[in-house]
Amino acid sequence: MIALLGRHGPEDLVAVGARGPRSARDLLADAGTLAATLPPLPDRRAGHVDAHALLVFEHDRYAFAAALLAAWSVGYAVALPPDHRVQTLTSMMQQPEIACVLHDTNSGREIQVHQRLAGPAASALAGTTAPAGIAATVFSSGTTGNPLAWRKTAAQLLGEVEVLVRTFAVTPGTRTVATVPPYHVYGLLFGVLLPLASGGAFGRETPMLPEEIAARVEAERADILVTVPFHLRRAKTLTSGRLATLHRVFSSTAALDDDTARSFARVHDRCITEVLGSSETGGIAWREADEPWHPLDGVTATINSDGRLQVDAPWLALDAERPWITGDLAMPSPQGSFVLGGRADRVAEVDGLAVSLPQLQQWLLAAPGVEDAEVISVPAPGGGVRILAVAVAPSRDEPSLRAAMLEAFAPPAVPRRLLLVDELPRDPLGRLPAAAVMPLFGLRADGSTPSTMLAIDEPHRRHEGDVEIAEITVGVPHDYLYFEGHFEGYPVMAAVVQLHELVLPLVERLWPGLGQPRELLRLKFLGRIAPGDALRVTLRFGLDANTCDFEIANDRERCSAGRLRFGPAS
């Protein structure tokens, strides 16, 4: 295992950027100051194992590196969240292995790294060390399901980095700009550990938009760009010369489409180096242009009887089976290399035709006027699957795009639904988790159709003087569509849903001559309506001209009440 900073002199730069340059000496000093702030490592004899420091960094890669070394020097492993959503971070902080949080955000939590470094300094670290056991827990992307945690030792992480240094001949003084956040394992390895291990420096910022990327490359005179296909597709707008200092461009996390690869090579005179890997396997192989994939040193890549790529390597996650069977179809190629045939779970059989979803997506991405696209398959009612596509294409309409697809593909391969939207809800790496894309089509994360209908019993009507009263029992389905997004882990029927999907339809059904609602008065939302609730809705008509009072309650509490006025406004 290599030692970080072993190829740096004390004054050699480890970080550059708008926040200012920092040297190896600075990094050891800042890491020492942060280490002095951390709580003592829990006593393993008391049942505490693999205590983790949660690292949440959104702005400064150097602050992340200082926090990483500080945590390791005390003996903590680090936990790198799969994303920075409030729900994700809250859930992680409740886990018993999380002993502390280091961050560069405005959340108000301890320990805010920049605030701590602005205070009194402590003794610098004498060198870089890492825990003997687990050094980091990283997470899969969650694009096909819930993120999974994978544990890595320091020997695995740094052993893989040493292979990267040799394979790609990364020399001291090399400067790297990364568009990948350091909490992603690719961003950690290529954007932080590789520069620290090779004697190089990284950019402190994480630019993602084309102009931002070009500005940082130019300002730092960067030699290496670490990025992803989504950012490369956007970078098509950059003119020749904007990335002239780069000697190598790495791309990973997803397949790079041929059109983007050719366009980038033509405009910027740089061939992209693709890296194949995953959170569970680490790096597997690399290639340039249309070459086969070359396994990294130490990686054994074979093809199993199902045609899937299977991998063994020293840096395979401790929790992973060996060999690890990937989701990629592959064919062997000479001298130990291989050719990928797409994802095994990205081939859908429709009406007896095997349809490649990546092929459909690449066609859409290359179509004139299409800026972004995603193609998925979901269960079809009655069995089988159906193909759905969503695209960002401001200058196109759905009929013309569908007609063009029918010229290029057999009818069963053309998506059953082709949805045009203003923007796809991708994460900073360009990934589109299933939980984000399915709701665009009104579907749950597993592709099934949620309930859109409330179970409404026959109203019981009676009179009290001039007032007519209707009482209705309403059942709320557990999978009711309108709970989506309100809220993760605590579903609530929103006030607007109560009015537009429950109260107003009941009023129109019982008193159809009232006309349109004109005013909402005395509205009170008092309690939570949850999945599976049995509701009691009470409507009172005639208390005042053209008004209807409503009240909604469940078995626990009174949930909401108010008055609706219909007809001409008074």
The residue type of 538 is T
Q: Which CATH architecture has domain 455-566?
A: Roll (3.10)
Q: How far apart are CA 161 and CA 282, in angstroms?
A: 10
| Residue 122 DSSP class | -
Q: Taking residues 163-183, report their average pLDDT.
A: 97
Task: In the chain, list all ranges with CATH 3.40.50.12780.
Answer: 13-279
pLDDT tier for residue 1 given thresholds of 50, 70 and 90? very low
Q: How far apart are CA 377 and CA 209, in angstroms?
A: 30
Window from 18-22, 349-353, 461-465 with minimum mean pLDDT:
349-353
- Of 331-345, 379-393, 492-506, the range with the highest mean pLDDT is 492-506
Burial of 86 (0-12, 13-18, 19+ CB in 10 A): exposed
Angle at 447 between CA 444 and CA 450, to 5 degrees: 40
Q: Are the C-beta atoms of residues 366 and 260 closer than 8 Å to each other? A: no
The residue type of 561 is A
The answer to whether the Cα torsion of 501, 507, 513, 514 is positive or negative is negative
Is 73 a residue whose pLDDT tops 90? yes
- Tokens 């605590």 label which residue? 490
Q: Taking residues 475-500, report their average pLDDT.
A: 86
Q: Taking residues 62-71, report their average pLDDT.
A: 98
Is 569 a residue whose pLDDT tops 90? no
Q: What is the pLDDT of residue 85?
A: 82
pLDDT tier for residue 299 given thresholds of 50, 70 and 90? very high
Q: What is the pLDDT of residue 141?
A: 64
Q: What is the pLDDT of residue 171?
A: 97
Beta bridge partners of 324: 311
Structure tokens that stand for 376 in this block: 């998925």
pLDDT tier for residue 143 given thresholds of 50, 70 and 90? low
Tell me the whole-structure pTM to 2 decimals.
0.78
Q: What is the pLDDT of residue 47?
A: 47
Window from 27-31, 169-173, 212-216, 437-441 with minimum mean pLDDT:
437-441
The residue type of 241 is G
Write the CA distances from 532 to 63, 248, 478, integer angstroms: 46, 56, 5
Q: How far apart are CA 506 and CA 511, in angstroms?
A: 8
Q: What is the pLDDT of residue 542?
A: 85
Q: Phi, psi (5° rounding) for residue 476?
A: -100, 115
Q: How far apart are CA 52 and CA 169, in angstroms?
A: 33
Task: In the chain, list all ranges with CATH 3.30.300.30.
Answer: 355-441
The fold for domain 13-279 equals: Rossmann fold (3.40.50)
Mean pLDDT value across the chain = 91
Q: Which residue has the higher pLDDT, 447 or 248?
A: 248
Is 398 a residue whose pLDDT tops 70? yes
Tell me which CATH code domain 355-441 carries: 3.30.300.30
Q: What is the pLDDT of residue 342?
A: 82
Q: How far apart are CA 552 and CA 538, in angstroms?
A: 7
Q: Are the C-beta atoms of residues 243 and 270 closer than 8 Å to each other? A: yes
Task: In the chain, list all ranges with CATH 3.10.129.10.
Answer: 455-566
Q: Taking residues 276-304, report their average pLDDT.
A: 95
Helix ranges restricted to H, 13-100:
24-35, 61-74, 86-93
Encode pLDDT of 41-57 as tens digits: 887 544 456 899 999 99
pLDDT tier for residue 330 given thresholds of 50, 70 and 90? very high
Is 522 a residue whose pLDDT tops 90? no
Is 144 a residue whose pLDDT tops 70? no
Q: Pick from 415, 376, 441, 380: which is nearest to 144 by CA?
A: 376
Q: Which residue has the higher pLDDT, 6 or 1?
A: 6
3-state secondary structure 163-220: HHHHHCCCCCCCEEEECCCCCCHHHHHHHHHHHHHHCCEEECCCCCCHHHHHHHHHHH
Give 95's contacts (C-beta < 8 A, 6+ positions apart): none
Structure tokens that stand for 38 in this block: 């951390």
- Tokens 């579907």 label which residue? 443
The residue type of 154 is A
Is 306 a residue whose pLDDT tops 80? yes
Q: How far apart are CA 203 and CA 21, in angstroms?
A: 9
